[in-house]
Amino acid sequence: MFALVDCNNFFCSVEKVFHPGLSGKPVCVLSSNDGCVVALTPEAKALGLHRGDPVFKVKDIVEKNNVKIFSGNILLYAAMSRRIVRILRNSVARVENYSIDESFCYLDGYEKMYDLADFMRDVVRKIALYTDIPVSTGIAPTKTLAKVGSLFAKRYAGYRGVCMIDTEEKRRKALGLVPLSDIWGIGRRTLEKLNYYGIDSSLSFADKSASWVKSHLQKNGYCTWLELNGIPCIDTAEAQMNQSICTSRSFGRNVEDLPSLKASVANFALSCANKLRSQRAVSSSVTVFLYSNRFRDDLEQYENADTFYFFTPTSDSLEITKAALQILQNIYRPGIQYKKTGVVLGRISSSDIIQQDLFDSIPNRPQRMELMKTIDSLNHRYGPKTIGLLVEESRERNWHVKSEFRSPNYLTDINEILTIKI
């Protein structure tokens, strides 16, 4: 049996932990540059707000109803996520962290010692006690059905945080109530295709024959069908290597000077290199792009991009950043008001096997990689950007994103630790 532990309205719930006066109040969390709503509470939804709403379009609703808004703070949310995962791993032997707000728990064998529903309710209570984050849990023989169970646990208080689908009767009843669009693994195109063939419910899809599903859908669709019928076949623990890694961001204000652009590109290049090493991979190409503000017709428009190819695949931050800055130097045009830059690492392969170059310009490559490991270790221990490059800093901070409503990093920065007045 699998248990999916899903944090309810996670971003908003984390903000409410540190702002207890917001209990029962409408709350929204905004995207990069405070542009759109990315998370909201049920109270905010009741006012007519939706995920993806541009802030300027719903400003009247926000002000009229005193909706509390926060800039997204992924460092704070990730720190809270780690605490929840730690609680789960202290309670269950095998836990798979699927996303920042979802984890799968493997409960095989636990049914011999516990009532699974009561066991997971104790875990839910422990998470609420230690973190004040509400979670919903679904228990089922497959991960897809566990996701369905978590939907019911979230919607109906009678389940007391845990919904278990452990019989054929419960399975069919649950699938008869859940829309096909809410099924994990059913994307927009698959949904359109199924609707074209007259399949408009989760149960009717699960009741189709295996031969029909194989002839009309691809492998992922067939796996979802198997899971809905109680046959586990989706292995989310199998890490898949990204084909490319991209880090880009729109600036808080337009940027014209080259030092600020260099600071942004260096920051993004280092972020990409860090992600590359985290998945034990190397890259053979780095691309840098930049463009002006497309929504300002009164300004001169310009965009450009270029790519550098490495003879020896690498994940060395220094090598990648140096190449990225050289590209920026080549494509930069003075006098332009730039709105966004980005770095893309491509041609990614495993670091276990690297094709060497006889004329490699970096003779001490093994020592450089040991240096990268040390830097990663220190940044992981003492916080991001504890050790960085001088070029990342610039006098002008215009390239940083807007975050006027950001909560402090209460859990990761000693200078922003929560203080209480008594």
**CATH classification at residue 335:** 3.30.1490.100
Q: Please report where in the chains the tokens 């532990």 appear, as a residue.
A: 5
Q: Are residues 275 and 387 in the same domain?
A: yes
Write down the pLDDT at residue 238: 52
Query: Which tokens is 9 given?
Result: 């309205």
Average pLDDT of span 338-347:
93
Query: Would 355 be classed as within a structural domain?
Result: yes
pLDDT at 353: 75
Q: Is residue 34 part of a domain?
A: no
Shared domain for 190 and 131, answered yes or no, is yes
**Are residues 211 and 108 part of one domain?**
yes
Which pLDDT score, from 0 to 100, does residue 75 have?
A: 87
**What was the pLDDT predicted at 394?**
57
Please, which pLDDT band fits residue 395 given cuts at 50, 70 and 90?
A: low
Question: Is 306 found in the same domain as 201?
Answer: no
* pLDDT at residue 325, as a whole number: 96
User: Lowest-pLDDT range, 61-65, 183-187, 220-224, 383-387?
Assistant: 383-387
- Same structural domain, 208 and 269: no
pLDDT in tens, 38-52: 999 999 999 999 999
Residue 127 lies in a domain: yes
Does residue 42 fall inside a structural domain?
no
- Alpha-carbon gap, residue 267 to 248, rounded angstroms: 10
Q: What residues pair up with 128 in beta bridges, in sequence order? A: none
Q: According to the model, what pLDDT value does residue 122 have?
A: 96
Q: How many CB atoms lie within 10 A of CB 369?
A: 16
Whether residues 118 and 212 fall in one domain:
yes
Chain-wide mean pLDDT for the chain? Answer: 90
Domain boundary among 228, 254, 281: 228
Mind listing the pLDDT tens digit for each residue in 130-140? 999 999 999 99
**With bands split at pLDDT 50, 70 and 90, how would you rate the model's confidence at 252?**
confident
Report the pLDDT averaged over residues 302-328. 94
DSSP string for 317-356: HHHHHHHHHHHHHHH--TT--EEEEEEEEEEEEETTS---
pTM of the full structure: 0.80
Q: What is the pLDDT of residue 415?
A: 84
pLDDT at 241: 56
Q: Tell me what the mean pLDDT of segment 193-214 comes to.
A: 93
Give which of 306, 317, 309, 315 is closest to 268, Cα–Cα: 317
Residue 206, exposed/middle/buried by CB under 10 A (0-12, 13-18, 19+)? buried
**Parent domain of 135:** 92-228
pLDDT tens digit sequence for 7-39: 999 999 999 999 988 988 999 999 878 889 999
pLDDT of residue 240: 54
Query: What's the domain count of the chain?
Result: 2
Q: 168: which 2 tokens?
A: 């054929």
Q: Tell me the percentage of the chain whose pLDDT exceeds 90.
A: 68
Nearest to 331 by CA among 289, 294, 301, 292: 289
> Distance between CA atoms of 164 and 250, rounded to whole angstroms?
44
Q: Which residue has the tokens 């590109």?
A: 265
pLDDT digits (tens, 9 = 90+) for 227-247: 999 999 987 665 455 678 999
Instruction: Looking at the structure, tell me whether residues 150 and 282 fall in a common domain.
Output: no
User: According to the model, what pLDDT value does residue 387 have?
Assistant: 85
Where residue 396 falls among pLDDT bands split at 50, 70, 90? low
Asked if residue 78 belongs to a domain, the reply is no
Flag whether 120 is in a domain. yes
In this structure, what token pair is assigned to residue 363? 């003779």
Q: Which pLDDT belongs to residue 364?
A: 84
Q: What is the mean pLDDT of residues 73-92?
A: 94
pLDDT for residue 352 is more than 90: no
Please give the average per-residue pLDDT across 146-159, as a whole number: 94
What's the pLDDT at 384? 75
CB 339 within 8 A of CB 292: yes
- Shared domain for 114 and 183, answered yes or no, is yes
d(CA 294, CA 377): 40
Relative to beta strand 68-71, strand 27-30 is parallel
The Cα 394–Cα 260 span in angstroms is 6
Burial of 113 (0-12, 13-18, 19+ CB in 10 A): exposed
Q: Are residues 214 and 272 in the same domain?
A: no
- Whether residue 310 contacts residue 283, with contact meaning beta carbons closer than 8 Å, is answered with yes
Residue with more model confidence, 276 or 242: 276
- Judge if 187 and 310 occupy the same domain: no
pLDDT at 138: 97
**Same structural domain for residues 217 and 252?**
no
Coil, helix or strand at residue 231: coil
For the segment 257-274, the average pLDDT, to the nearest whole number, is 92
**Host H or E run for residue 17:** helix 10-18
What does the block give as tokens for 295? 């929504």
Residue 19 falls inside a structural domain? no
pLDDT score, position 76:
92
Are both 124 and 162 inside the same structural domain?
A: yes
The region of weakest confidence among 161-170, 308-317, 357-366 is 357-366
Once rounded to an integer, what is the mean pLDDT over residues 378-395? 78
